[in-house]
C-alpha cells in the first residue's frame, strides 16, 4: 500500500488507510468542574482491537458508513474529523468505515479525529483536547492515565488484557451525560465510573444490558466512558457480547 502525498497534485497520489482504535475507559473520576464548565478528570484508558478505518484521498469531502447501532454521525463541519483537518490545515477526501458505534462511550469520533492528527504528524495534545476530551488520549493510544480536561496523557506499561463488551443499541450523547451529572450534583459511581449514575438517570433502559452481561458472567459490569457500553474483564463470547483485546501504542499510530 502506497503512502499518499496529499499536499501534492497529480495522478501519483494514492489512497491511504488509517486505523483508529477504540478506547476503553477502565476508570473515570471527575475531580472538579472548571469555571468554564469543563470537567477535570482522572481516568485510566486502554486501546482496543475494535477499530474504525479511514481512507484518505486527494480532494475534499467526508463520507461515513456502518453507523448502525449508535447515534447518527453527521458528515459535516462539526464532525470531529472535519475539525481535525481544520486544526492541521489539511484538505482531504475522507471515507470512514465505522465499527465503533457512536455514543457507545468507546471514543469512536475521538479515535477518528486522532487518526487524522497522527497522519498529519500533529502532536499538540492541548490543542487536540479542544476538539474533544478523548482526542488527546487517542493520539497517544495504548495504556495511559488521563487527567486535566483530557490533555494530560501519562503512558503506563502495556498489558495484554481481554475484555467482553455488551453494546446496547442506545446512543448516549457525551455532552448530555455530563450535563446530567452536573444536574444530579456530581454523584460518585459505585464501580469506578462517576458518570454511571448520570447515564442511568438519562437512559435507564441501558440497565437491562448491564444486568444481562452481569448474569452471563457473574461479574458486576462497568460502564465504558459516558456510556452506554458495559464491560467486564475476561472472555465471555456469545449472545451479542463482543470479546476485544488491548493493543499497544505502537499499533495505534499510522
Q: Decide if 98 is catalytic.
A: no
Q: Decide if 23 is catalytic.
A: yes
Q: What's the rounded Cα separation, in Å, for the pair 164 and 238?
A: 10
Confidence band for 144, pLDDT divided at 50, 70 and 90: very high
**DSSP code at position 206:** G
Residue 49 has pLDDT above 60, yes or no: yes
Q: Give the pLDDT score at 10.
A: 40
Q: What's the rounded Cα separation, in Å, for the pair 2 and 69?
A: 33
For residue 213, CA distances in Å to 54, 68, 219 come to: 31, 21, 8
Q: What's the rounded Cα separation, in Å, for the pair 102 and 96?
A: 12
For 162-245, which CATH class? alpha beta
Please pick, among 52, 98, 112, 134, the residue that the annotation labels catalytic: 134
pLDDT single digits (tens) 34-45: 999 999 999 999
For residue 29, CA distances in Å to 3, 190, 212, 236, 249 come to: 40, 11, 25, 27, 23
pLDDT single digits (tens) 58-76: 999 999 998 665 677 888 8
Burial 43-55 (b: 16+ CB within 10 A, else e): bbbbbbebbbbbb
Mean pLDDT over 107-132 rounds to 95
Those residues with Cβ within 8 angstroms of residue 76's Cβ, 6 or more apart along the chain or in another chain: 62, 82
Please pick, among 23, 52, 98, 194, the residue that the annotation labels catalytic: 23
Those residues with Cβ within 8 angstroms of residue 204's Cβ, 6 or more apart along the chain or in another chain: none
pLDDT single digits (tens) 167-182: 998 888 889 999 999 9
User: Taking a C-beta distance cutoff of 8 angstroms, is the pair 21, 48 a contact?
Assistant: yes
Amino acid at each position: 500500500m502506497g503512502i499518499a502525498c496529499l499536499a501534492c497534485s497529480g495522478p501519483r497520489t494514492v489512497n491511504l488507510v488509517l486505523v483508529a482504535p477504540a478506547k476503553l475507559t477502565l476508570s473515570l473520576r471527575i475531580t472538579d468542574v472548571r469555571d468554564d464548565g469543563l470537567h477535570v478528570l482522572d481516568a485510566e484508558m486502554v486501546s482496543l482491537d475494535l477499530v474504525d478505518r479511514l481512507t484518505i484521498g486527494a480532494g475534499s469531502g467526508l463520507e461515513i458508513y456502518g453507523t448502525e447501532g449508535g447515534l447518527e454521525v453527521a458528515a459535516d463541519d462539526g464532525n470531529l474529523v472535519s475539525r481535525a483537518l481544520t486544526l492541521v490545515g489539511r484538505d482531504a477526501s475522507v471515507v470512514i468505515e465505522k465499527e465503533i458505534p457512536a455514543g457507545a462511550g468507546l471514543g469512536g469520533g475521538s479515535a477518528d479525529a486522532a487518526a487524522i492528527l497522527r497522519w498529519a504528524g500533529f502532536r499538540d495534545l492541548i490543542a487536540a483536547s479542544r476538539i474533544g476530551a478523548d482526542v488527546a488520549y487517542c493520539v497517544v493510544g495504548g495504556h495511559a492515565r488521563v487527567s486535566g480536561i483530557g490533555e494530560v496523557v501519562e503512558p503506563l506499561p502495556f498489558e495484554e488484557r481481554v475484555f467482553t463488551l455488551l453494546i446496547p443499541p442506545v446512543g448516549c450523547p457525551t455532552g448530555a451525560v455530563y450535563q446530567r451529572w452536573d444536574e444530579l450534583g456530581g454523584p460518585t459511581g459505585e464501580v469506578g465510573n462517576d458518570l454511571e449514575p448520570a447515564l442511568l438517570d438519562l437512559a435507564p433502559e441501558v440497565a437491562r444490558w448491564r444486568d444481562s452481561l452481569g448474569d452471563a458472567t457473574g461479574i458486576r459490569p462497568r460502564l465504558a466512558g459516558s456510556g452506554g457500553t458495559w464491560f467486564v474483564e475476561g472472555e465471555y463470547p456469545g449472545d451479542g457480547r463482543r470479546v476485544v483485546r488491548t493493543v499497544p501504542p505502537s499499533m495505534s499510530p499510522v
